[in-house]
A and B are shown apart, each in its own frame.
Chain A
């Protein structure tokens, strides 16, 4: 299709300029509002207030308060990524391989589309209304079963509460991504394994899981990045009482702690680095996964 246009008479050639004009706004836009801002942060992370190259800013990341914020962030992201993968996988397996009615399957997929986008402030409110001090589940547990969640040390404004909330968009994202991969498992593979004497467990261990492995690990990386970059949910849920990396950065920017803007750069740079690594893993494994499914 491109060759047919390229071989048009020379009368169309000046239009080549026009096609460049067609893509120019995009590149201008991307440069101004995506690349330059990011570059500014990355370069800023390696410079001091006088503009000299330095590693001091990155060194400040090792300060106990910052280090623990990153550590909690990584733990939170990793935990919700692993659990999101696990539960999302179980639900996806149930709707693809479990012999459930088809309408239920598409209903769950549609709901997953909604829930994976229902992040941010409203999600935090929903969880406060459910598991907060006066939340529905908290009250029901107390009145019906005599269980006092908060007496037992639970708090929605905590690591655990935040993890529970994050799972609300992590699990559906996993369902959305892994369902096609599970559908890619061909029935004949299972049957071939069976005819060769394998039982269900052996089939999963030797064939299905190895085939799914890149997709699973890749999605794990994606969920990690997804949780790591989430700010609004955390702020709406905890205010700034739980110190995770994005909230620390938010406070840095918000409070204009301009006594040291370069620490902000360093935090932001570390965040980019972590999510970039996670996404690179995702893309690499994705390519590997697609190699097999032809």
Chain B
């Protein structure tokens, strides 16, 4: 049994089922991200854990205790919102001390804990300020400190970085992870930004239409996507239409070019399927033995700085690949005939 167990959780708003049979076990101290597009149900699951929404069915257990029937203010869960949600009438110190004040702790204890928290989030001098005098990044740090001050069992972060500028987003991302490790607090982080989810999490839950499509480490999610949705949503991807030629031998037809995958494939001859591959696994030119070689011509060249993204037309489809910029080699010109090599292991087969 995990520290935080979510069992057969369901939620319907009227006739609409927004969360369907959601199951997840989170270990103590783990950092989990819920990743998915807006409307996928990730925030609803989070809000059910927090106690702001009542599950239609299912259970949420923290430390072996079912909290589903508990009001939000009895759960001891820290929550950070997208729009900061600092109390505008209270100073930074009073905001952070709010939960302790509610618990009835003494002034000295509160002020000590508040100081500790301000130190933790790196804002030791701003305790006297009001929220409207702070930048967005500072406000979100205070919100984090406020949520952590009550020593919650679980920390919930609902898209906490979405409202911030790109630069602050990256630095705060690292800081949140540092603080989480330092305190060893069990954390759920909701985001629609795959980069955030991949870079911060111990495990990622990719959600789609109320269902958890895949649960795994960032490495697994990225390299071994379980469904077409996961493959498409996480990272950029080439998707090529293919036709199954020989299931047992693992041969497929890409247009009229036969490709050998050298592994057994499900399905019958003539089935349509999709081949997925990451741009960074495609190499321009002919590589060593055992790889698949396709010929085509350069269709587009995008110079992105350190990386050059090249699109090659192969058998009527487009294959994107990334090469690193090299100062002495200008990128190929459009129309040049080229060959691209792919390792057969990198070709993922997804049902069409």
Complex contacts, B143 vs chain A, CB 8 Å: 192
Select B73's contact among A186, A188, A198, A206, beta carbons within 8 Å.
A198
Complex contacts, A199 vs chain B, CB 8 Å: 73
Complex contacts, B86 vs chain A, CB 8 Å: 192
Complex contacts, A193 vs chain B, CB 8 Å: 73, 87, 98
A34 touches B (CB below 8 Å): no
Rounded to whole Å, the gap between the CB of A33 and the closest CB of chain B is 41
CB pair A195 B132 closer than 8 Å:
no
A210 touches B (CB below 8 Å): yes
Beyond A194-B52, A196-B150, A197-B102, whether A188 also contacts B72 by CB under 8 A is: no
CB pair A191 B81 closer than 8 Å:
yes
Select A194's contact among B72, B87, B146, beta carbons within 8 Å.
B72
Residue of B nearest to A199 (CB): B73
Rounded to whole Å, the gap between the CB of A181 and the closest CB of chain B is 13
Rounded to whole Å, the gap between the CB of A182 and the closest CB of chain B is 15
Beyond A193-B98, A197-B150, whether A186 also contacts B132 by CB under 8 A is: no
CB pair A191 B72 closer than 8 Å:
yes
Looking at B88, B101, B146, the one whose CB has the most chain A CB atoms below 10 A away is B88
Select B102's contact among A188, A198, A294, beta carbons within 8 Å.
A198
Complex contacts, B74 vs chain A, CB 8 Å: 197
Beyond A191-B52, A294-B132, whether A196 also contacts B99 by CB under 8 A is: yes
Q: Which chain A residues numbered 194 to 243 have a C-beta less than 8 Å away from chain B?
A: 194-199, 202, 206-207, 210-211
B147 touches A (CB below 8 Å): yes
B171 touches A (CB below 8 Å): no
Beyond A196-B98, A196-B146, A197-B103, whether A191 also contacts B132 by CB under 8 A is: no
CB pair B83 A192 closer than 8 Å:
no
Q: In the docked arrangement, what's the CA distance between A186 and B131, Å?
A: 15
CB pair B81 A196 closer than 8 Å:
no
Rounded to whole Å, the gap between the CB of B186 and the closest CB of chain A is 15
CB pair A211 B52 closer than 8 Å:
no
Bin chain B's interface residue count: 20 to 34
Rounded to whole Å, the gap between the CB of A288 and the closest CB of chain B is 11
Complex contacts, B41 vs chain A, CB 8 Å: none
A102 touches B (CB below 8 Å): no
Residue of B nearest to A207 (CB): B87
Rounded to whole Å, the gap between the CB of B178 and the closest CB of chain A is 23
CB pair A292 B102 closer than 8 Å:
no
Beyond A188-B81, A202-B102, A291-B132, whether A195 also contacts B87 by CB under 8 A is: no
Q: In the docked arrangement, what's the CA distance between A202 and B73, Å?
A: 11
Q: Which chain B residues numbered 84 to 100 have a C-beta less than 8 Å away from chain A?
A: 85-90, 98-99
Rounded to whole Å, the gap between the CB of A211 and the closest CB of chain B is 5
Complex contacts, B62 vs chain A, CB 8 Å: none
A11 touches B (CB below 8 Å): no
Rounded to whole Å, the gap between the CB of A287 and the closest CB of chain B is 13
A104 touches B (CB below 8 Å): no
Beyond A186-B85, A188-B83, A292-B89, whether A194 also contacts B76 by CB under 8 A is: no
Beyond A195-B77, A195-B78, A198-B73, whether A211 also contacts B102 by CB under 8 A is: no
CB pair A292 B88 closer than 8 Å:
yes
B50 touches A (CB below 8 Å): yes
Residue of B nearest to A186 (CB): B85
Q: Which chain B residues numbered 33 to 72 have a C-beta less than 8 Å away from chain A?
A: 50-52, 71-72
Q: In the docked arrangement, what's the CA distance between A209 and B6, Å?
A: 37
CB pair A186 B89 closer than 8 Å:
no
Rounded to whole Å, the gap between the CB of A196 and the closest CB of chain B is 4
Complex contacts, A192 vs chain B, CB 8 Å: 79, 81, 85-87, 143, 146
Q: In the docked arrangement, what's the CA distance between A191 and B150, Å?
A: 15
Rounded to whole Å, the gap between the CB of A231 and the closest CB of chain B is 39
Beyond A196-B102, A196-B146, A197-B103, whether A191 also contacts B85 by CB under 8 A is: yes
Select A197's contact among B52, B83, B99, B156, beta carbons within 8 Å.
B99
Rounded to whole Å, the gap between the CB of A257 and the closest CB of chain B is 51
Residue of A nearest to B85 (CB): A188
Complex contacts, A189 vs chain B, CB 8 Å: 85, 87
CB pair B87 A186 closer than 8 Å:
no
Complex contacts, A294 vs chain B, CB 8 Å: 132
Residue of B nearest to A195 (CB): B79
Q: In the docked arrangement, what's the CA distance between A202 and B87, Å?
A: 13
Q: In the docked arrangement, what's the CA distance between A188 and B90, Å?
A: 15
Rounded to whole Å, the gap between the CB of B160 and the closest CB of chain A is 12
Complex contacts, A210 vs chain B, CB 8 Å: 89-90
Q: In the docked arrangement, what's the CA distance between A192 and B160, Å?
A: 13
Q: In the docked arrangement, what's the CA distance between A195 and B148, Å?
A: 11
Q: In the docked arrangement, what's the CA distance between A188 and B81, Å?
A: 7
Residue of B nearest to A214 (CB): B89
Residue of B nearest to A293 (CB): B88
Complex contacts, B102 vs chain A, CB 8 Å: 196-198, 202
Q: In the docked arrangement, what's the CA distance between A210 and B52, Å?
A: 23
Residue of A nearest to B89 (CB): A210
Residue of B nearest to A198 (CB): B102
State the B residues within 8 Å of A (CB): 50-52, 71-79, 81, 83, 85-90, 98-99, 101-103, 132, 143, 146-147, 150, 156
Across chains A and B, which 5 residue pairs bring their CB atoms closest together, nearest first? A188-B85, A196-B99, A210-B89, A195-B79, A194-B72
Contacts A/B (CB < 8 Å), 20 sampled: A189-B85, A191-B79, A192-B86, A194-B52, A194-B71, A195-B72, A195-B77, A196-B99, A197-B99, A197-B102, A197-B103, A198-B98, A202-B102, A206-B90, A207-B87, A207-B89, A207-B90, A292-B89, A292-B132, A293-B88
With A189-B85, A211-B87 already in contact, 16 other A-B pairs whose C-beta atoms are closer than 8 Å? A188-B85, A191-B72, A191-B85, A192-B87, A195-B78, A195-B147, A196-B146, A197-B76, A197-B99, A198-B102, A199-B73, A207-B90, A210-B90, A292-B88, A292-B132, A293-B88
